[in-house]
Amino acid sequence: MAELQEMATLLQQGNVNAVKTLTQRLLDNGVSAQTILNDGLIAGMTVVGEQMRCGEMYLPEVLQSASVMHAAMSILKPHLLSGGVQPIGRVVLGTVKGDMHDIGKNLVGIMLQGAGFEIADLGINTPPEKFVEAIRQHQPKLVGLSAMLTTTMLVMKKTIEVINASEVRSQVKIIIGGAPITQRFAGEIGADGFAKDAVSAVDKVKELLAISN
């Protein structure tokens, strides 16, 4: 459908008002929320991810496209819920205690949402116990921990230790990310995976959960 292709293009261009208008018009014309999500928004964000990976799109542009996705999803979500559409998985995200950075985490959340996941975002400065509580509440398949400061890397380690000591550890995979984080550090603290950026985070989450593209 030409309008869905147009939506994907407008999302890549960061045109929030046009995408919101088009989303509502498609719904009014009887196009299902699932079709709009898959063939319009996710299709657009997939291209954004590929362009970011290739260096053809940079962070400010990606964040603008992400904000378009978020705005459109606020319109679609009630229709998806009423239609019984199930996400491909649920993910809990949070920046660990002592760290106030959230741009990377937010982008990971939007990219995962664009890939069909449901996101429970705990925000910044999240203590270890809150992650455990969120796992109990939301029953996710995966938890993502973010840290941008070298000083909060140890808090990330502590958070995983607290999750490990709880009864919920067997329920989830744990992925970590942030500027100072490496694959080696992920292995040292017992994380199941590491992602260097939002695009690779989607790939790693799907890999850990054995979800095919």
Burial class (CB in 10 A: 0-12, 13-18, 19+), 32: middle
Q: Give me the pLDDT at residue 150, please.
A: 93
Q: Which residue has the higher pLDDT, 53 or 131?
A: 131
Task: Report whether 158 contacts 126 (CB < 8 A).
Answer: no
Q: Give me the pLDDT at residue 161, please.
A: 97
What is the dihedral angle through the alpha carbons of 57, 61, 64, 65, rounded to the nearest 10 degrees? -20
Buried-exposed string 35-73: b where 16+ CB fall within 10 A, e elsewhere: ebbebbbbbbbbbbbebbeeeebeeebbbbbbebbeebb
Mind listing the pLDDT tens digit for each residue in 109-153? Answer: 988 887 889 999 999 999 999 999 999 999 999 999 999 999 999
Which structure tokens are listed for 143?
Answer: 């938890």
Which structure tokens are listed for 184?
Answer: 């080696």
Where exactly does CATH 3.40.50.280 map onto the chain?
Answer: 89-208
Record: fold of 89-208: Rossmann fold (3.40.50)
Max intra-chain CA distance, the chain: 53
Quote the CA–CA distance of 196 and 208 in Å, as a whole number. Answer: 15
Quote the CA–CA distance of 62 and 50 in Å, as a whole number. Answer: 11
Which structure tokens are listed for 182?
Answer: 């490496």
Q: CATH second-level architecture of 2-82? A: Orthogonal Bundle (1.10)
Mind listing the pLDDT tens digit for each residue in 142-165? Answer: 999 999 999 999 999 999 999 999
Quote the CA–CA distance of 37 and 189 in Å, as a whole number. Answer: 37
Quote the CA–CA distance of 172 and 140 in Å, as a whole number. Answer: 7
How many C-beta neighbours within 10 Å does residue 188 have? 10
Residue 4 binned pLDDT confidence (cut-offs 50, 70, 90): very high
Phi, psi dihedrals of residue 148, rounded to the nearest 5°: -105, -15
Residue 82 binned pLDDT confidence (cut-offs 50, 70, 90): confident
Where exactly does CATH 1.10.1240.10 map onto the chain?
Answer: 2-82
Quote the CA–CA distance of 115 and 76 in Å, as a whole number. Answer: 15
Q: Give me the pLDDT at residue 213, please.
A: 63
